Amino acid sequence: MKTEGLGRKATWALRALSVLTILIAWELYGRSSNPLLFTYPTAIADAAVDMVADGTLVRALGQSLSVLAMGFAIGTGAGIALGMLAGRSAVAAALLELPVNALYATPMVALIPVLVLWFGFGVTAKVVVVTLFVVFPVLINTMRGVREVDQRLVEVARTFRSSERKLWLDLVLPSSLPFIVTGIRLAIGRGLIGIIVAEFYTAFSGLGYLIVDNANTFKTARVFVPIVVLMALGVTLTALLEWAEGRIAPWRKATR
């Protein structure tokens, strides 16, 4: 996307300006308010240094990331596989459509008590929660991508007598890649929600535990540290995805 009428430098200057303004305003207001109820950026920074030094942040981040990674891997893997199947086979699509749409529309949080009954409070339950948050946007977007394959190119492949396997490699996969990436981009946001919700509602662990524990003891600055980490995680993962897409799909530069 192009920002109209603004150079690169000006755009970045304005971005920095907006962040700085927010931080300064927050700092000024935060310092004048009750530290039990509110906090400010420098206090959060101090708390972050403490929490890195005593190891709590790193340990919590490790726990959250490992659950996130597992849930994300299973969720995107299953989402892509099922999405491709549903995109290519009318039977699979008909079978999957209603359950998928129903589950996608269901607030996943509502299922957590049941998931705890089935999977306990441990890592398994958390991974299942993240998987459920991740799988649907990936599945639905993949399915759409496969369906929107350019039929004219399918015809080209047929004139060259392509096998079904080659057709997937040459055509279906690359052409649905942008859709899959969109699905994964949505899944990143949902996965982060999933991990925190899971850590709130199953056995306390990870960044979710840090938030709840510090909030209960009114260490407000310490509550914000994992929140900022989550924010950074979301931004980083999305940037990473875009970078990866640029590497895997250089032809897409044309459409950006």
Partner 1 sequence: MPQTPKIALDNVSMAFGDNVVVEEVSLEVKEQELLCIVGTSGGGKTTLLRAMAGLIPPYRGRILLDGEEITRPSSSVAMIFQHFGLFPWKTVRANAEYGLSVRGRRDEHGIVDRLLEVMHLTENSEHYPYQLSGGMQQRVGLARALAVEPTVLLMDEPFSAVDALTRESLQTELLSLLERERGVTAILVTHDIDEAILLGDRIAVLYGRPGRLALELEVPIERPRSPQEIRFHSEYAQLRKQVWEALQGEQREEYV
Residues forming the site for partner 1 (CB under 8 A) = 152-153, 155-163, 166, 170-171, 174-175, 177, 249-251, 254
CB of 253 to partner 1, least distance (A): 8
- Residue 186 dihedral angles phi and psi, to the nearest 5°: -65, -40
Nearer to partner 1, 114 or 164 (CB): 164
Nearer to partner 1, 15 or 166 (CB): 166
Nearer to partner 1, 215 or 248 (CB): 248
CB of 162 to partner 1, least distance (A): 5
Q: How far apart are CA 160 and CA 163, in angstroms?
A: 9
Q: How far apart are CA 70 and CA 202, in angstroms?
A: 17
Nearer to partner 1, 173 or 212 (CB): 173
CB of 157 to partner 1, least distance (A): 7
Nearer to partner 1, 70 or 173 (CB): 173
The closest of 79, 76, 181, 75 to 129, measured between CA atoms, is 75
What is the sign of the dihedral through the CA atoms of 223, 226, 229 and 235? negative
CB of 180 to partner 1, least distance (A): 13
CB of 229 to partner 1, least distance (A): 36
Nearer to partner 1, 9 or 161 (CB): 161
The alpha carbon of 105 is separated from its chain's Cα centroid by a whole number of angstroms, namely: 18
Give Cα separations from 130 to 101, 189, 201 (angstroms): 18, 11, 13
The alpha carbon of 124 is separated from its chain's Cα centroid by a whole number of angstroms, namely: 19
- In the numeric block, which tokens belong to residue 32? 């004048």
CB of 149 to partner 1, least distance (A): 11
The gap between the terminal CA atoms of the chain, to the nearest Å, is: 6
